[in-house]
C-alpha cells in the first residue's frame, strides 16, 4: 500500500495517531484528534484527512463518523537525513517552549534538557515531568504544522557533564575567546549541538567543553535564538 505521492498531501488536515496496529483497516480516532477535525476544523463525514503514525509514513484517510478509513499510505520523505539532537541548558519556561517549537519545525530529532551552573530555572522531578508533557505537545503541534512525519524525542540529563558523557561527540556553542572553530555540517548522519544558559558557561564548564566549542560568528545570540540558528545551519544550510 506504500507509494510515492503525487496527491497534494500538504493540503490535507493532519494529526499524529500513534500505536496503530494496521494501516489498512479502519480505526477509531482518539477523542482529542476527533475534536480537532470535527469541532476546530469543522470537517464533515467523507472529507479526507492525513494520519501520521510517527514512523515516517502518512496515511490518507476518509473521515467517517468517529473513524478514519485508510485510502493509501505514502512516504513523504520530509525528515532530514541528519538526525540532530539539541542539548539545551534550561532557560525560562517560555523560552524553552519557543526553542522546542522553532527547532522542531526546522527538523530537530531530539532534545536533551539539563541544568547548567548558571541556570536560573530549577525544575524538580515533578516540574520536569509536567514541562516535558507540555513540550511534547508543542513539538507535536509543530510537526503537524511543518509537515513532519516523526516526533522528536525528549530526555533529561543532570548537568553539562552528564549530557556530554551521553553524547561525547557533541559540539558546544561557546562565547569563549579561545573558540575559533565555526559551526559546520557534520560528515555523519547524526550530530548533537549543545546550547548554554542565558548567563553563559562558567570557567569550570568551559574547561569541560574543551575543544568541543564552536561559534556562530562574531555576534552573540539570545538563548532562544541560538539553538534555532545552529539547527538551521546544520539542517537547512
Q: What is the DSSP-derived secondary structure letter of residue 182?
A: B
The per-residue pLDDT for 7 is 55
pLDDT reading at 4 higher than 50: no
Dist CA 115 CA 205 (whole Å):
12
In the block, cell 541548558 appears at 89
Dist CA 225 CA 87 (whole Å):
14
Dist CA 73 CA 71 (whole Å):
7
Task: Give the tens place of pLDDT for each residue, 65-98.
Answer: 999 999 999 999 899 999 999 999 999 778 999 9
Q: How confident is the model at residue 121 (pLDDT cuts 50, 70, 90)?
A: confident
Q: How confident is the model at residue 178 (pLDDT cuts 50, 70, 90)?
A: low
How far is CA 203 from its chain centroid? 30
Dist CA 130 CA 107 (whole Å):
24
Mind listing the domains of the chain with CATH numbers? Answer: 2-74 (2.40.240.20), 83-235 (3.40.1280.10)
Helix, strand, or coil (residue 109): coil
Specify the pTM.
0.91
Amino acid at each position: 500500500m506504500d507509494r510515492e505521492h503525487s496527491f497534494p498531501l500538504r493540503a490535507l488536515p493532519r494529526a499524529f495517531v500513534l500505536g496503530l496496529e494496521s494501516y489498512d483497516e479502519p480505526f477509531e480516532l482518539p477523542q482529542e484528534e476527533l475534536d480537532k477535525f470535527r469541532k476546530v476544523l469543522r470537517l464533515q463525514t467523507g472529507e479526507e484527512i492525513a494520519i501520521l503514525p510517527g514512523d515516517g509514513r502518512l496515511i490518507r484517510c476518509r473521515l467517517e463518523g468517529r473513524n478514519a478509513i485508510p485510502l493509501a499510505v505514502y512516504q513523504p520523505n520530509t525528515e532530514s537525513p541528519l538526525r540532530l539532537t539539541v542539548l539545551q541548558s534550561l532557560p525560562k519556561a517560555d523560552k524553552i517552549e519557543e526553542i522546542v517549537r522553532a527547532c522542531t519545525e526546522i527538523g530537530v530529532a531530539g532534545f536533551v534538557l539539563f541544568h547548567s551552573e548558571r541556570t536560573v530555572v530549577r525544575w524538580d522531578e515533578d516540574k520536569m515531568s509536567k514541562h516535558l508533557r507540555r513540550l511534547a505537545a508543542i513539538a507535536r503541534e509543530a510537526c503537524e504544522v511543518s509537515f513532519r512525519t516523526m516526533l522528536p524525542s525528549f530526555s533529561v540529563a543532570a548537568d553539562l557533564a552528564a549530557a556530554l558523557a551521553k553524547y561525547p561527540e557533541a559540539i558546544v556553542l561557546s562565547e569563549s575567546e579561545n573558540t575559533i572553530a565555526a559551526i559546520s555540517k557534520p560528515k555523519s548522519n547524526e550530530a548533537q549541538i549543545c546550547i548554554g544558559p542565558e548567563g553563559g558557561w562558567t570557567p569550570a564548564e568551559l574547561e569541560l567543553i574543551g575543544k568541543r566549542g564552536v561559534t556562530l560568528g562574531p555576534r552573540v545570540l539570545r538563548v532562544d535564538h541560538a539553538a534555532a540558528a545552529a539547527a538551521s545551519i546544520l539542517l537547512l544550510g
